[in-house]
Amino acid sequence: MKPTILTALLAIIYLSAFPQADLQINISTRRIARDVFILASDSLEGRKFPSAGRAKAAAYIAGQFLEAGLQPIEKNHEPYFQKIPVNHTRIGLTYIHLDGKLKRSGFDFSFASSMPYNNSLTLPIRFIGDEKLNMKIGGGDTIFHIVDKNIEQAMLRIEQLSKTTQAEYFAISITKSKKSTKSLIVQEYLSGQYRYPESLFKIKQHTKGLYSYPAYSEQNLKVFLFTDEITQSLYGQSLKQLQVNAKRSVKSAQQRNLTVSDLTFSSDFWVKDTVLHDDNVIGYIPGTDLSDEVVIVCGHYDHLGKSSQGIYYGADDNASGSAGVMELARMCSQARANGFDFRRTLVFIAFGAEESGLNGSYYYVSNPVFPLKQTVMVLNMDMIGRSDNKPGEPGTAYSMAIGSRSRTMKKSIRQLNRQMDNIHFDYSVNFPNSITWYFGSDHYPFVRKKVPALVFNTGLHDDYHKVTDKPEKINYESLTNILKGMFVLLVDLANEPEKYPLK
């Protein structure tokens, strides 16, 4: 692993290949550190949406865009802001009493009701799995536990069961798809960095679909989404064993042989939906002869806010990437002021509401300020401030190309690495947690729209999503040198005669 020291001279030599004057890169490590320390300060309180700290962060970034001379996208009192409507949902809590412990909704399982629900009950729960019942079975106050491959199919079955049994209570287990991309993501979450149990990750994926299903809102239903761990504790059998037993019982029409247990739970369930507005912060530098084509440089600026454990500073996630967006904007703006032309338009975006589900980038691709068909490439920076879990020591910067595997792009990365004596952009598709990075950051909504993207990061670490992700742990020398390399690549992208083709 190479240490990250990149001299300005190398960048000057590279840029001399263009038919313009040599260009001195003016980059400031002190300025980058200032940006990170401000975004990850106590006063910004973790930059969670919605919060005053998040609004302060957006205002700070907009101020830096203005100072750098970027063109705004609006002609109003907030010219750099693209307003994002975000549905903000608050939900009451439900507890399951199991093995002498309290299991909490949102952590150990999910629970939803079609209307506010406050009760404490012990009810029999009957496992029917994925079988179609060919016997009459009473409903009443029984919880029917079904298994299906997705929430849509499960809710269709529940809709039918609720009519034939008059039941109001249901539980769902979602099975794992064989050889699915989602199962790969789950494995990344199981690697220890995200620390979700596999089945909880599955139910988190499906809970939103449960709320939006028509039968859920039209009928008086109470529905649990169980993890495999809850199921095992409840029945004393694995999900696979339970399904074998259910198949045998239904085939023989022996209702009494269906596995039954008791579920004790208490619920104070309610849902409050509010539409709030977050901000994407956007500025741009117009291009010359290819100005209708666009290169986007982006990174999200929001984080997790604060809790009883303290402030989640989010220095690496993603004050580092936000600082990168601001510094590259300054460098490109100064280059243009010094007579260096960028053929394509450069757009700089600090995305909001990433942590809550890539809301800012999803909103942008649905409401693009610049046409997506004319967007040549997206460069996304997410967590570029640390070096393989060794703060203070240099390391590799990982880069993943998505949607573009052209020879030109590979050549650009290779040329970039050859020019850098002491930093390496790892271009492999199998770098640590690569599947997570593929789906888990703001480039992904663009990729879904067939816009090529490059995502840059320096890897996950033990401070990820913890209150210990502090600005003093950032490797500022490494961060500076990564941005030098990215500037070289950005110039190449802006001035390359042909687009990078989708492959």
273-318: pLDDT as tens digits: 788 899 999 999 999 999 999 999 999 999 999 988 899 999 999 9
Beta strands per DSSP E along 175-254? 222-226
Q: What is the pLDDT of residues 46-86, one digit of tens each?
A: 999 889 999 999 999 999 999 999 999 999 999 999 999 98
Instruction: Determine the Cα–Cα distance for residues 202 and 225; give it in Å rounded to an integer.
Output: 9
What CA–CA distance (Å, rounded) separates 146 from 130? 6
Out of 110-124, 319-333, 359-373, least confident range: 110-124
Spell 367-406 as b/e; 16+ CB within 10 A means b: ebebebebbbbbbbbbbbbbbbeebeebbbbbbbbbbbeb
Mean pLDDT of 452-481: 90
What's residue 48's pLDDT? 94
410: pLDDT confidence band, cut at 50, 70 and 90?
Answer: low
**pLDDT-based confidence at 105, cuts 50/70/90?**
confident
Average pLDDT, the chain: 80
Look at phi and psi of residue 314 and say left if phi exceeds 0, alpha if psi is from -120 to 50, else beta.
left
**pLDDT band of 10, cuts 50, 70, 90:** very low
Could you tell me which residue, 64 or 153, shows the higher pLDDT?
A: 64
Q: What pLDDT, on the 0 to 100 scale, is given for residue 64?
A: 98
* Structural tokens at position 390: 């060794």
**Residues 48, 302: contact at Cβ < 8 Å?**
yes
Q: Which of 438, 426, 431, 401 is nearest to 185 (CA)?
A: 438
End-to-end CA distance of the chain: 30
Tokens found for residue 76:
């109003």
The whole-number pLDDT of residue 265 equals: 92
- Evaluate whether 278 touches 352 at the Cβ level (below 8 Å): yes
In single-letter form, the type of residue at position 470 comes to K
Of the two residues 436 and 364, the one the predictor is more confident about is: 364
Q: How many CB atoms lie within 10 A of CB 124?
A: 13
Residue for token pair 């709030």: 276
pLDDT at 430: 53
SS3 255: helix
Residue with tokens 């590279």: 14
d(CA 114, CA 205): 19
Tokens 């996304």 belong to 380
Share of the chain above pLDDT 70, in %: 73
Tokens of 231: 């199921």
pLDDT at position 65 is: 99
The pLDDT-based confidence of 483 (bands split at 50, 70, 90) is very high
pLDDT of 30 strictly over 60: yes
